[in-house]
Structure 1
Amino acid sequence: MLSNINIWQFIGGLGLFLFAMHLIENALSTLGSKSFNNFLIRHTDKPVQSVLSGGLTTAMLQSSSLVGLLVLAFTGAGLMSLNNALGVIFGSNLGTTMTGWIVATIGFKLDLDALSLPLIALGSFFVVLSKGRKQQVGMVLASIGLLLLGLEFMKDSVSDLKTLFDINSLRDFSAIQFLLFGAVFAAVVQSSSATMIIALAALDGGIISLPSAAAVAIGADLGTTSTIVIGATNGTPNKKRVAAAHVIFNVVTDLIAFILLMPLLQFIIWIGIKNPLYSLVAFHTLFNLIGIILFLPMINKLAKFLETLFVEKEIVISHYIRQITPDVTTAALIAIRKETSHLIQRVLAQNCKGFVPKIRKPPGLLPLHDTLDMETDETTSFTHLYHATKLLEGEILLFATDLQAHTLEAAEAKELNELLSAIRNAMHASKNIKDIQHDLNDFELSSKQAIMRFLGQINQLMQEFYTAIYTLKSDSGDPVLTEELQEVSQHTKLKHDQFHAEIFTAVHKREIADTEVSSMLNVNREILNSNLAIIHALSNYHQAQYIENA
């Protein structure tokens, strides 16, 4: 019975620790998401700078996994070069060792009950009674209290554990077994910090020796590579390259650390760090520092090597222009018109997937010729569709450039310009929706009634807008009238103004925080711009059709 109590106390403490880490990560990323993001993007121009930025950001966010996923996102979006991304990833490995230093310094030296309960109490009051940044600060304080409480539970359970079985049996375990335990456990809980805490607790309780704990630390470092690998599985080639670099860095660094395990521990003792807990975290820091020193001069060469990996075959999205050459201008112009219709249809279909829940496709036909079946797999994300449509835009523009090298009649040149304007407007409409994805995701996670109401109104507006677009074309196939487009445009602007007023009413009633106002206004503006751009694209397309038939 006693052993069961200790086991559940340990598991409960571990669960509380992981839960607290999750809360801290969310609260810190909410408090400074834009600041951290801008910091990473702006301060990663040089290899050394990117390593320092990665280490500092990870130390502040207390999550190398989160920083790794941010780097994947920035790399996939083209905001960070592969060279700079590698530096941040290497630095994040060093930054995550800060958790061990904090826990070794505070967690095993102070009365954690006396420290954790006041933090939980103070933080909880802030969470319940405050809003905005103060609420998030309260969440950080309460989470730190929960983290320390979980650590205390683990310490207490481990301190009694050595009385329940013969700890000498652990001496038969090899270093490789402890390494594998650390790797598997870190991969399962997705936290090298939690694995390090277990190693520190076991070391402090006399359950395992320092070399065994050091092997667990090496395994923990290796196990967390699973997070970034999973995050890059279905990503762009650059995302996969960043993940591969993370794996290469960790495997090489951890292999060196394992081979030099005893010499490194002896070196740490030689320089005067004799406390086992400090020796363990110093070992964790030291072998990551060795890895950075080893890889830093090779970042450019490693990036060039990685660029030879995960090379995708050229993707062709077009349906019509790929089947002909621009030599016959009449046929080429018809192909561009059809491809323009194809692109507009893609934009409308993918924009529907940019909202949660997805905007339902209304009954009826689009006011376009040569309509295609744009139904997509439910699992295909908006971002994936957006990048595919960007490829289609590039194909059309390249083909149009080749066509313009030929002699065109005045009417043909005018028609081509209208079609290219339609393409630009359609892509603007898509980019507007892409730019508010993070805001919509934040709204979806909010529990505030005003924000949930706003989100529902947005979805209703978009459903009404798409219904109006799909009813513009009559069954006889007559072209849409300019007056009808103007009516839809006026209705769209009216709804925008209504939402604008309602947002400020909610602000006046203190239903939303000041920090949320700008996001709501931005979403309202971008949706207006997107819908108006769709209308302009349709107008351009039908103007081109009018020129052709004139």
Structure 2
Amino acid sequence: MLKKLLLPTILILLAYGFWISPDFKVVSAGVAVFLLGMIFLEQGFKAFTGGILERILHFSTNKMWKSLTFGIVSTSLLQSSSLVSVIAISFLSAGLIGLSQGIGIIFGANLGTTTGAWLVAAFGLKVNIGSYAMPFLVFGLVFLFDKNKALQGIGNVFIGVGLLFLGIHYMKEGFEAFRASVDLSQYAMTGIFGLLFYTLIGIVATVVMQSSHATLILIITALASHQVSYENSLAVAIGANVGTTITAVLGALSANIQGKRLAAAHLVFNLSTGAIALLFIEQMVWVVSHLSNVIGINSNNYTLQLALFHTVFNTIGIVVLLPFLGNLVKILVNWLPDIRGNGVSISTEGKAIHRAKFLNEISLNYPETAIQAMVKESVHLFQNAYQIVSLGVFVRALDIKKTKELKELLNLETELVTVNIDELYQRYIKGIYADILRYGSQIEAGLSVEQSTQVFSLKLACRKIVDAIKDIKHLHKNLANYVKSDDEVVREQYDLLRLRVIIILKQIYELRLLSDADELTTKTDLIKLAIAKQDIGSNGTLEQLIRKHRIDPLVASSLINDSGYVHSICNNLVDSVIGIFRRATGDIILAEQEMELDQDELMAILKKHKGSR
């Protein structure tokens, strides 16, 4: 109901303001042009997020000081903490950075917003900034007509900068005109009531404009024209800081639980910082006054003092909250638990169905991030398939990882328990695979040829994983019949089939030690060559057994079919590794993956099937 009333209320208030004051039109137009400039600026920089910003973010957040620095520098350059926050939420939702790293970026982004206030207070109000807007707008429009995406991005940036300058010019002109006709400073309020009231104005203005930067520029221009008191402008700056969290909250609506936790951390930081600033406003004003004397800011230059105040209270917020970062992460995890079981939903039959953990709508705005999220999800699918294939040959993935002499695994009689591969496929594979296909189709629009090839390769790799599961279903049934056969030769041949799969699973696990794509390709080529040589249907082994009457021809026909299944399973698994892990970067490598499902749940499955035999 409130959402439906908000827009009409804003429109009515604006119309009333236009009617009673022509100068209000100028200020409002300045704000509108400024916000339009921010939109162009964000669109322009998004043209360069197709890998550059994402790679910088990925490799510059492994330490807290790096995360803070990235937040400060990127926000200072982009002049949009909202864009940086949304990108951070996107990365976190895709599993490319941790919650602590994301919080560090958010902390830094809050401090980075102060650079815009400094630039406007120091230079924007002292020169005719509107004249600088025109060249940017003209050159930006020329670049925008070019077909090259990079040049179009530059064009958007230029137009954005030009509109920002023009917006500041109109806001400045509007408040100057106000001073001649209406003295808004007469509405100044002192004391605690004035502090809270103007803080609320800052919150509302930022929520409406969706930009704390716009609110700060607006209040700086008003302060320069003496239309608002210094004390009240400080309160508005505090409110703007609190109000800006609405962008992160809105951005997190389409994110997974990790993205929502980061948005909550943003809210906690800004609320805490705002509370500290309000409680210790007098002390902060004294600190700002003292620092102003030290760095040479005149005592009557309130616009620069406002910029300094904004920097001071954000810095204090970081200093106060940073030591409690670990506790904040724990609180957020407990406060916002993953009620879906971290990628698990519940079917109508009450069974847990595994779904995508790393795919989210917000990442679709950043192709490189979306592709890496798809890689991560493909690894998730591979993990589950690895475990199911292991169970299909009567071993556990954990035993394959730990055992050096793989033949020993063939003698674990307690593990010779049949499982329902179809049920495992429905629970652990189908939902994730469906989510990957849907997501891949969503991100294909607007991708470069190289990016489209990557998405196609990932979808093909995931299909091979699914094919391997379907083959292991057929193989598992015959293994269950023959692996305990009284015929020693038959039992031996089926154990060899099991061993072939186990060896491939072990070799795939050992690929975790490889970090070079070329080395991975060489190794997988050798593995595939060995797979081809081991097929008893083509290497003459089966013909010799039949010729020597060591195996019944009827059993031999099953054996040759099952050898074909093994050949297909091994090839599909290796091909999926090539398709997925050659495109993995940073921490999305096999070395970081456990490659096993929840062991308690799997043991329950094994016990259930043991009991049903």
The C-alpha deviation readout for 1:303-350, integer Å capped at 9, x for no partner, is 233232222457465769988xxxxxxxxxxxxxxx9xx98xx89xxx
- Whether contact under 8 Å (2:381, 2:462) holds in the other structure is no
Give the secondary structure class of the aligned counterpart of 2:228: coil
Following TM superposition, by how much is the alpha carbon of 1:117 offset from its aligned partner in structure 2, in angstroms? 0.7
Determine whether 1:117 maps to 2:121: no
Per the alignment, residue 457 of structure 1 pairs with: none
From 211, 214, 220, the equivalent of 2:234 is 214
Q: Which amino acid aligns with 1:7?
A: F
Unpaired runs of 5+ residues, structure 2, are: 1-17, 365-372, 397-411, 482-557, 559-613
Larger Rg: 2
Is structure 2 residue 202 aligned with structure 1 residue 182?
yes
1:432/1:529 contact within 8 Å kept? no
Partner of 1:261: 281
1:103 corresponds in structure 2 to 120
Residues 437, 225 of structure 1: alpha-carbon distance in 2 compared, 3 angstrom cutoff? farther
- Structure 1 gaps, min length 5: 324-338, 357-381, 444-515
| Shift in Å, 1:15 | 1.1
Q: Deviations over 1:202-223 (max 9, x none)?
A: 0111101111111111000000
Separation in structure 2 between the aligned mates of residue 13 and residue 29 of structure 1, nearest angstrom: 24
Range 40-49 or range 518-527, more displaced: 518-527
Q: Does 1:306 align with 2:238?
A: no
* Partner in structure 2 of residue 137 of structure 1: 154
Listed one character per residue, the Cα deviations across residues 252-300 of structure 1 (whole Å, up to 9, x for unaligned) are 2111212333432333233332222111111111110111111122212
Aligned counterpart for 1:39 among listed residues 39, 45, 56: 56
Q: Which residue of 2 aligns with 1:9?
A: 26
1-structure distance, mates of 2:156, 2:339: 47
Q: Which moved more, 1:212-221 or 1:258-267?
A: 258-267
Where does residue 519 of structure 1 map in the other structure? 451
Q: Establish whether residue 158 from structure 1 lines up as the match of residue 175 from structure 2.
A: yes
Task: Name the CA shift for 1:418/1:2 in 2 (closer, same or farther; >3 Å).
Answer: closer
Q: Residue type of the partner of 1:440?
A: E
Q: Percent identity?
A: 27
Give, in angstroms, the shift of residue 103 of structure 1. Answer: 1.9
Alpha-carbon distance in 2 for matches of 1:537, 1:395: 9
User: 1:530 and 1:397 mapped to 2: Cα distance?
Assistant: 15
Counterpart among 200, 221, 224 of residue 244 in structure 2: 224
Residue 214 of structure 2 is aligned to residue 194 of structure 1: yes
Q: Kindly provide the amino acid, as one letter, of the partner of residue 279 in structure 1.
A: Q
User: Structure 1 residues 542, 403: CA separation in 2 closer, same or farther (over 3 Å shift)?
Assistant: closer
1:141 is aligned with what amino acid? Answer: F
User: Equivalents in 2 of 1:215, 1:254: separation in Å?
Assistant: 9
Relative to structure 1, the CA distance from residue 293 to residue 394 in structure 2 (aligned partners, 3 Å threshold; closer, same or farther) is: farther
1:444-455 alignment runs, 5 A limit: none
Question: Does residue 1:282 correspond to 2:308, yes or no?
Answer: yes
- Greater Cα offset, 229-238 or 118-127: 229-238
CA contact (8 A) 2:385 2:465 kept: no
Q: Secondary structure at the match of 1:79?
A: coil
Q: Contact 1:47/1:299 (CA < 8 Å) preserved in 2?
A: no
Question: How many Å separate the matches in 2 of 1:2 and 1:205?
Answer: 22
Question: Quick check: 2:381–2:429 contact (8 Å CA) kept in 1?
Answer: no
CA pair 213-23 structure 1, distance change in 2 beyond 3 A: same
Q: Give secondary structure in 1 for the equivalent of 2:181.
A: coil
Residue 19 (structure 1) aligned with residue 72 (structure 2): no
For 1:302 and 1:398, the matched residues in 2 are separated by 40
| Cα distance in 2 between the residues matched to 1:16 and 1:107 | 16
CA contact (8 A) 2:381 2:433 kept: no
1:245 CA drift (Å): 1.9
CA 1:268/1:318 → structure 2, altered by over 3 Å: closer, same or farther? closer
Alpha-carbon spacing, 1:143–1:318, altered in 2? closer, same or farther (3 Å): closer
Letter in 2 for 1:285: T
Letter in 2 for 1:96: T
**Aligned partner letter, 2:96:** L
Name the SS for the 2:180 alignment partner.
coil
Q: Post-superposition shift, 1:527?
A: 4.4
* CA distance, structure 1, for counterparts of residue 89 and residue 63 of structure 2: 18
Count of residues in correspondence between the two structures: 425
Provide Cα deviations, 1:529-548, integer angstroms capped at 9, x if missing partner. Answer: 45555555555556667878
How far apart are the structure 2 equivalents of 1:16 and 1:314? 43
Q: Deviations over 1:51-89 (max 9, x none)?
A: 112111222222212222222222222222222222111
For 1:320 and 1:129, the matched residues in 2 are separated by 53
**Partner residue of 1:273?**
297
The structural deviation recorded for 1:18 is: 0.5
Larger mean CA deviation between 421-430 and 100-109 belongs to: 421-430
Shift of 1:193: 0.1
Letter paired with 1:170? Y
> Contact conserved, 1:428 with 1:530, CA < 8 A, in 2?
no
Query: CA contact under 8 A between 1:112 and 1:152: conserved in structure 2?
Result: yes
The Cα shift of 1:19 comes to 1.1
RMSD (Å), alpha carbons: 4.2
The amino acid across from 1:159 in the alignment is E
Q: Which residue is 1:251 aligned to?
A: 271
Tell me the residue number matched to 1:58. 75
**For residues 31 and 431 of structure 1, what CA distance do their matches in structure 2 show?**
27
Given that residues 23 and 177 in structure 2 are in contact (C-alpha distance below 8 angstroms), is that contact kept between their aligned partners in structure 1?
yes
For 1:320 and 1:143, the matched residues in 2 are separated by 50
Asked if 2 retains the 8 angstrom alpha-carbon contact of 1:57 and 1:92, the reply is: yes
Aligned to 1:440: 444
CA contact (8 A) 2:172 2:225 kept: yes
Instruction: Sort the Cα spacing of 1:400 and 1:199 in 2 relative to 1 into closer, same or farther, 3 A.
Output: same
2:317 paired with 1:291: yes
Report if the CA contact (8 A) 1:416-1:544 is conserved: no
**How far 1:37 sits from its partner (Å)?**
1.8
Residue 31 of structure 1 aligns to a residue whose secondary structure is coil
Letter aligned with residue 296 of structure 1? L
